[in-house]
Structure 1
């Protein structure tokens, strides 16, 4: 039985030190000003910062010690995720570090994982998961992409994936495909000429792509995992990514509200600070209340996930957390832009960065409406078996 997990435990020195270290690092190494490149239609993702995050040990937080990682718990990853949200950092920790690390921890006996796990330790190699094919489904087992086994021992990959996070930032794509009628996972070089990426910038300066594979040749060394365990591992990894995304949204929401409250205390209109206006006070309370509910939901989800990962109860709690955190972050961002007035839309105003980040992370792996439906499913509210 796993011990109960409290975030942030005032008695847990590791948690306190990690939180303070992440805060200090991001305060020094990350500047919101770089996000202004968004207004020029450019990605803001920074491989230098990614390597520095690897040096801090964040990319390998969930990697087992046997693979060189820290083997810390989801609660520690949640601490990092919340601080990334508080600083509106767009670098894809969840998609390009947490998810690969969780999969590597299950299938590391395959030699093809070596460059991927080494990249989590030093930032030298970035991988991103390419698994989704239908925008209406987040079921990792819904796959039509296939790998054909040739008589000479080679393999050919064909198909298409959507929602590939930060594809051009990555060196490798971790692609799910059908092989011999079962699910498999492959490492595919992003620069292969038969791999086509059609990429779009996201609201916060990252990117999302549609990846197409036109008879991409693969070798047996590219095979990372095969069999029924692949679907189970993907589902479990996506559960944790959802939980951490909720914590990142909580960080976004809290920082956005702090920025807005500071503005309300200093901005003067009609001879008064606008924070003294009753309408602004009521809206601030609404935003604060939603944040408190979101944080409580994330705390509950973290505990349930630690006690019984992959259970219906844990998945229901994670769905609740993601829905509430998404709503809270969007509410905080929109209220902040509204309170700032016209300047809230300007590149110079930091509050806009938080709304843009909230728009992406609220949609990541399903928006609030999707996860309210998922909660009904996992909590058996429709009378079906969980």
Structure 2
């Protein structure tokens, strides 16, 4: 089996393994968990860790799987299709930076360690004004995803990174609920006890942004599939509404959006796996994230409209996909931010 065949087999196995936690068409588990702390199920998270998902991007020598971004994005897409709330993307980001006992505890599922790197909205800057020197951390971190379920936080600052236990003296955590039923946390750090961690979050943020784009691809693809089923079964004037030409045109436009997003995510994952130059990697990630953010909002909104009145009810599942897109579209950078970064990072086409 050559390298391409081996990668294809890994991707197939990962997609198949996702069936253990993803149940398309059955949102009962998602509905039970939303708007309740911590917003996800620790038993399900443990099962995900047992399958090695948290260490997907961690080298084998450090206890991970050592797989590439193409495998990671394939898994993230499957999780998006099932609206899985467990914090795989944030924890995988932490796993890329931790070592020793901290990494072992995360990979085993014993501890949930969430990165806390943002100090303002819509940024990719992980440094900010927070200080993490001398075994103490001081500053403020915002928009920490699923913080209510965290055992510890990987905090970034202008001096480096530090691991801060949730119960550490000097740390105050405020939780706010999000549209999808999850939560964001705000960390207020006042000389909080911390442990220094070597590393730089920049590359890990790039991977998390692309994985989020892949998750959004799964969200929009599943919302579109639900809508197609509805168009085929809902009857009006004695025939399925999917036979109406105007609705067929709208569905075709949405299918194109899903296909373009898939191509962009796949291309970006291949670029990151090829060890391309930093500017090319940033351009590829920004192109994929900008498209996924915009397309997911368009597809999920149109999905609700194509369902008519029932699509606007909370009891109908298609609305859950719009709620998820609303939360993730701006996480790890909005479409506008990534378009600006793409314009700055992309190679000049006239020079090719």
TM-score, scaled relative to structure 1: 0.84
In structure 1, stretches of 5+ residues that fail to align are 150-154
Aligned to 1:152: none
Instruction: Say whether residues 1:205 and 2:181 are aligned partners.
Output: yes
Residue 272 of structure 1: CA displacement?
2.5
- Is the aligned partner of 1:126 residue 2:105? no
2:257 match: 290
2:146 maps to which residue?
A: 166
Over 6 Å off, 4+ runs: none
Q: Which moved more, 1:34-43 or 1:279-288?
A: 34-43
Distance change >3 Å, CA 214–CA 10, structure 1 → 2:
closer
Question: Residue deviations 1:125-150, cap 9 Å, x none?
Answer: 01011111122432223x2111453x
Say which of 15, 25, 45 aligns to 1:19: 15
Displacement of 1:309 in angstroms is 4.5
2:78 corresponds in structure 1 to: 83
How far, CA to CA, are the matches of 2:335 and 2:287 in structure 1? Answer: 9
1:175–1:330 Cα change, 3 Å: same
Q: Which residue number in structure 1 is paired with residue 336 of structure 2?
A: 369
Question: What secondary structure is seen at the aligned counterpart in 2 of 1:146?
Answer: coil
Q: CA RMSD in A?
A: 2.5
1:145-160 equivalences under 5 Å are: 145-149=130-134, 155-160=135-140
Seen in structure 2, the aligned counterparts of structure 1 residues 147 and 57 have a Cα distance that, compared at 3 Å, is closer
Which whole-Å CA distance do the structure 1 matches of 2:59 and 2:221 have between them? 31
1:191 counterpart residue number: 167
Tell me, yes or no, if the aligned pair for 1:246 and 1:321 is still in contact at 8 Å. Answer: yes
Q: What is the aligned counterpart of 1:217 among 176, 188, 193?
A: 193
- TM-superposed CA distance for 1:208, in Å, is 1.0
Per the alignment, residue 121 of structure 2 pairs with 135
Q: Deviations over 1:67-101 (max 9, x none)?
A: 221111111111110100111112111112x1012
Alignment of 1:48-87 (within 5 A): 48-87=43-82
Contact 1:39 1:347 in 2 (8 A): no
The aligned length equals 349
The unaligned stretches of length 5 or more in structure 2 are none
CA contact (8 A) 2:111 2:151 kept: yes
Deviations 1:41-85 (A, max 9, x none): 665311111011111111111122222211111111111101001
Give the Cα separation in 1 of the matches to 2:185 and 2:276.
Answer: 30
2:21/2:44 contact within 8 Å kept: no
Q: Please report the TM-score for the alignment, with normalisation by the length of structure 2.
A: 0.91
Deviation at 1:29, TM superposition (A): 10
User: What's the CA shift for 1:235?
Assistant: 0.9
> What is the CA–CA distance in structure 2 between the aligned matches of 1:382 and 1:68, rounded to whole Å?
42
2:39–2:146 CA contact under 8 A, matched in 1? no
The offset of 1:342, in angstroms, is 2.2
